[in-house]
Amino acid sequence: MAGLPRKILWSLVPLVVLYGGAELGLRAAGWPKPDGAFAHNQPFWITDPNLDREPFPHREEGTTFRVSTNADGLRYPLHAADKPAGVTRVMALGCSTTFGWGVDDEQSYPAVLESLLRADGYAVEVINGGQPGYTSFQGVWLYDTVLRDYDPDVVLVGYVVQDARKAAYTDRSQAILQGDARYLKHHLLYRSRVYLGLRALLGEIQIRAKERGAGDEGGVYRVPPRDYEANLRKLVGMIREGGGVPVLFGYPLEREGYTAEHRAILQAAAEVLGVPHFDPQARMERASRERRLYFEHDRGHANADGNALIARWVHDFLVENELLEGRR
């Protein structure tokens, strides 16, 4: 019996040699790798820090809008990471819609929300955690590396618009295949080319987009339903771990359109996780038929009036559900 462990170890040697040889061979061959361009050059990014009303181009008839950011690249309202005593912090997570693409600093919905709450007497700071192009995949990374340091009391998890978009690759596939250390350090198995090759052959990582049927745009969701649910769970867990209250927020578009499936997942996740859910999509569709609330040539982003209306709805939701600390 004493020699049994040694025999087992020796029996593993061929497997180790085979695996090692395959790993070296695949790395030398550069496989697996994508055979086309990614939607983004990097799987993670953030707006430049310390911008002071920097003009950003907007396709709305060649106009620009002014952007200011703090030391972490978070847009106005400008607040440091350290939370002042006696202040309630509301954090808004999302993509360019939350960031306020197309409108000046003070016109984004997080900035208007802060003004509305302060006018009501709340000692509050609103942190604009929106970043252009973000899905919940980048949102998990940003919250874990930057945003949790802001010690938010209420967090509006507003990822839905970009998660539901189609692309040639899922965001997770991009991070894996580009070997991005910020993702791989938490997922060591994805460093292995043998493992990646098997995953690719089995179809678990979708490299090429598949047509989803006549009349539907080709591609895969940037964040497929299973990944979307997992990301929401991670965000809710991190927020709760820090003592904050997560709110799953279905940021409204002019029309629900392609976001319908992800909105349904968002609502279901809120029920399962036991967190507040707020989706004013139906309300926005009615309101936007009566007046222009989105840009004429950039229908995916709310104009100043649209941002103000969204801020008012979020304000009312927070107050009516008693999610804020008392007034001054």
Lowest-pLDDT range of 47-61, 111-125, 145-159, 271-285:
47-61
Of residues 250, 314, 254, 251, the one with CA closest to residue 284 = 254
Give the confidence band of 187 by pLDDT, cuts at 50, 70, 90.
low
Q: Which residues contact 70 (CB under 8 A, 6 or more apart)?
A: 49, 50, 78, 79, 80
If one compares 101 and 207, the residue with the highest pLDDT of the two is 101
- pLDDT for 209 equals 37
pLDDT tens readout for residues 70-112: 999 999 999 999 999 999 999 999 999 999 999 999 999 999 9
Residue 13 has pLDDT above 70, yes or no: no
> What's the start-to-end Cα distance of the chain, in Å?
76
pLDDT band, very low/low/confident/very high, at 202 (cuts 50, 70, 90): very low
State the pLDDT at residue 42. 73
Taking the model in full, what pTM does it have?
A: 0.79
Q: Is residue 10 part of a domain?
A: no
Confidence of residue 172 (pLDDT cuts 50, 70, 90): confident
DSSP 47: P
For the beta carbon of residue 28, count every other beta carbon within 10 angstroms.
9
> What is the C-alpha to C-alpha distance for residues 136 and 186, in angstroms, rounded to an integer?
17
Is 38 inside any structural domain?
Answer: no
Number of Cβ within 10 Å of residue 244's Cβ equals 20
Rounded-to-integer distance, Cα 22 and Cα 14, Å: 12
pLDDT band at 192 (very low <50, low <70, confident <90, very high): low
Q: Specify the number of domains making up the chain.
A: 1
**Residue where the block lists tokens 């040699």:** 17
Closest CA to 238 of 124, 121, 93: 93
pLDDT given at position 182: 58
pLDDT band for position 194 (50/70/90)? Answer: low
User: Is the pLDDT higher at 188 or at 65?
Assistant: 65
* pLDDT score at 33: 47
Residue 254 or residue 182, greater confidence: 254
Q: How much is the average pLDDT of 263-267?
A: 98
Indicate the DSSP class of residue 191: G
Task: To the nearest 10°, report the CA torsion of 168, 170, 176, 180.
Answer: 90
In a domain, 196, yes or no: no
SS (H, E, C) 97-151: HHHCCCCCHHHCHHHHHHHHHHHCCECEEEEEEECCCCCHHHHHHHHHHCHHHHC
pLDDT per residue over 278-312, tens digit each?
999 999 999 999 999 999 999 999 999 999 999 99
> What is the residue whose two structure tokens read 């801020």?
311
Establish if 47 belongs to a structural domain: no
For residues 115 and 315, the answer to whether their CB atoms sit within 8 Å is no
Q: What is the CATH number of the domain that holds 309?
A: 3.40.50.1110
C-alpha–C-alpha distance, residues 296 and 288, integer Å:
12
Q: How far apart are CA 122 and CA 71, in angstroms?
A: 25
Q: Give the domain range for residue 234.
A: 54-187+215-320
Residue 124 covered by a domain: yes
Residue 5 in domain = no
**b or e along 6-17 (b: 16 or more beta carbons within 10 Å of the residue's beta carbon)?**
eeeeeeeeeeee
Spatial distance between the Cα atoms of 164 and 257, rounded to a whole number of angstroms: 10
Q: State mean pLDDT over 50-73.
A: 94
Residue 18 counted as domain residue: no
Q: Is residue 227 part of a domain?
A: yes
Task: Tell me what the mean pLDDT of segment 222-250 comes to.
Answer: 97
Residue 2: predicted pLDDT: 57
Asked whether the predicted pLDDT for residue 7 surpasses 50, the reply is: yes
User: What is the average per-residue pLDDT within 305-321?
Assistant: 98
